[in-house]
Amino acid sequence: MLRTSVLRLLGRPGTSGVSLLEYSSPRHYSSGPLGAPDDGRGARAFFTTPIFYVNAAPHIGHLYSALLADALCRHRRLQVPSAAATRFSTGTDEHGLKIQQAAAAAGLAPTELCDRVSAQFQQLFREAGISSTDFIRTTEARHRIAVQHFWGLLKARGLLYKGLYEGWYCSSEECFLPEAKVTRQPGSSGDSCPVSLESGHPVSWTKEENYIFRLSQFREPLQRWLRGDPQAITPEPFHRAVLEWLEEELPDLSVSRKSSHLHWGIPVPGDDSQTIYVWLDALVNYLTVIGYPNAEFKSWWPTTSHIIGKDILKFHAIYWPALLLGAGMSPPHRIYVHSHWTVCGQKMSKSLGNVVDPRTCLDRYTVDGFRYFLLRQGVPNWDCDYYDEKVVKLLDSELADALGGLLNRCTAKRINPSGTYPVFCTTCFPSEPGLVGPSVRAQAEDYALVNAVATLPGQVADHYDNFQIYKALEAVSSCVRQTNGFVQRHAPWKLNWESPVDAPWLGTVLHVALECLRVFGTLLQPVTPNLADKLLSRLGVSATERGLGELYFLPRFYGHPCPFEGRRLGPETGLLFPRLDQSRAWLVKAHRT
Ligand code: MSP
């Protein structure tokens, strides 16, 4: 049989009847604060994770996707605290051939498999503190209504036609692959089996009459959208990659399968012999959760930020915006893309038996510890490698020793016997550097510290905006180190509260260090919510004083009153983050086996 490298479209495409002029002016946004598009809708922001396949239990890669979205959303809530201003959805992707086959292999009805694995995702996300406002399952009735309505719009706009579609289909990736993306591998009986070049999963030749979406018409509108909004896909290398893909021909897309082949899905309205393509079904979840097709969805679309892994970029950056444009809507505000976790240098996979169970990690390292690790070490631009020793080393040095140690040094009874936020002395630490006088004690490095911590919230916000959360954490960690250096330099334990010469400076050193800690605690809330709460509570910072709007660092230095000065610290509740290397018996055991 003659098999072409490009999928052959044997249908007779007519004209769509839709003017592409409609698609020529997607909304433009300012590069303002995260999730706050300059679109006249005020401060609303809607964050999404991908919806997760239920063919297997969740692993740390899935949790990472959800944590990135959670941290972005929590940071946003610190900027705009009104609960009505932010939405955050996650969920499970339950239809399609992949699930149908996984259920059959497990001897279960698809609904049983979906219920079981969806519950595992829900439990994991609850335990990991994922603060989503909606968890969608694509098997819900509200979703079927949304998908069928969306389909109806595409149909009415002349963007769907019936044609013969053939090519290699990979059920694991749930997509057709061009010949160039297919290779041969020896199978179990020695014969040569076609597999996906990228994932190694089997592919099979499929030839069917399907509904086809006129994707080819959207190449230029997509290029205009991306060229007009350089931050639409962040980080930049992914934006560039999509523009490069769009240099190539963009073939039309098969958007249904024969129900006799794929029954586990949403039927095409008015044609029960066809089931809607699982990716179209899945992508519409982002509309379902905001009430689509009811008009209420318009107050949340397109102020949307999708957080996705690099493997699903094409679906989100080409298919989805094209489908949206086709339905008369704007593309999403932002697509934030991350890379993958490998384990000891290898791709995580069930067949290699190296899948890392996120619940075990949450138990071992605590919720905040593991959240901190994944977000501190995960770099969106490239893959990161996971191994247990790395977690222990990072958490011991940054959370237990540096941050926990700093808090302990400034609040311990022997150094801060009154248990209060001490008074800042402006003559010991004048706002102008370089002044000399008998009571001036601050040195050049101390001014550098104040400057670093004063500019930290802005830097952190920029890193969040650029989807570089690890850099935000790196910046916080560097300031924690600097603050420890400050305390070490001035050795408050050598100063005496009873001495009229020492006391004002001792109070000032502790005041500055506590102010730095207050900034760190506030900025860490999106990543380590429980630890940040413990830290801020110990400092006596109330629930209404924890937003970014209230974060005035060291006001006394700038000549303003400080609401914390003289306030009682919160109760002592033990170590901020206990060292892990004491309790590493399981790690040694794991290495012996
Ligand atoms: N169901 C689709 C998404 C549909 S969204 C409309 C899907 N599901 S998935 O379960 O395979 O993947 C969900 C997310 O997990 C994706 O963002 C994917 O990139 C991410 N990860 C899967 N494996 C991963 C790693 N090893 N590391 C990091 N993230 C990984 O795709």
Q: How many angstroms separate the alpha carbon of residue 154 from the centre of ligand 1?
A: 27
Q: What is the pLDDT of residues 27-85, one digit of tens each?
A: 222 222 333 434 333 579 999 999 999 999 999 999 999 999 999 999 999 999 888 89
Q: How many angstroms separate the alpha carbon of residue 301 from the centre of ligand 1?
A: 23
User: What tokens were used for 188?
Assistant: 């179990």
**How many H helices and E strands in the chain?**
19, 19
Q: What is the pLDDT of residues 490-522, one digit of tens each?
A: 999 999 999 999 999 999 999 999 999 999 999
Band (584; pLDDT cuts 50, 70, 90): low
Band (198; pLDDT cuts 50, 70, 90): confident
Instruction: Give me the phi and psi of 234, to 5 degrees please.
Output: -125, 140
Assess whether the C-beta atom of 308 lies below 6 angstroms from ligand 1.
Answer: yes
| 61 CA to centre of own chain | 11
Residue 557 has pLDDT above 70, yes or no: yes
pTM of the entire structure? 0.91
Q: Which atom of ligand 1 is nearest to the CA of 285?
A: 6
Q: Which residue spans of the chain are classified as CATH 3.40.50.620?
A: 45-338
Residue 246 has pLDDT above 80, yes or no: yes
Q: What is the pLDDT of residues 98-152, one digit of tens each?
A: 999 999 999 999 999 999 999 999 999 999 999 999 999 999 999 999 999 999 9
Look over the chain and give the mean of its residue pLDDT values, rounded to a whole number.
Answer: 90
Residue 449 has pLDDT above 60, yes or no: yes
Q: How many angstroms separate the alpha carbon of residue 573 from the centre of ligand 1?
A: 39
SS (H, E, C) 165-184: EEEEEECCCCEEECHHHEEE
Assess whether the C-beta atom of 340 lies below 6 angstroms from ligand 1.
Answer: yes
Decide the pairing of beta strands 160-170 and 8-9.
antiparallel
Say if residues 416 and 409 touch (Cβ distance below 8 Å). no
- CATH 3.40.50.150 corresponds to the domain 401-568: no
CATH architecture of 45-338: 3-Layer(aba) Sandwich (3.40)
Q: Which residue spans of the chain are classified as CATH 1.10.730.10?
A: 401-568
Assess whether the C-beta atom of 323 lies below 6 angstroms from ligand 1.
Answer: no
Q: What is the pLDDT of residues 179-191, one digit of tens each?
A: 889 999 887 777 8
pLDDT of residue 472: 98
Best substitution site from 48, 70, 72, 93 to test ligand 1's pocket, by max atoms within 8 Å of Cβ? 93
Residues near 556 by beta carbon (within 8 Å), at least 6 away in sequence: 424, 426, 511, 562, 565
Q: Which atom of ligand 1 is nearest to the CA of 320?
A: 6
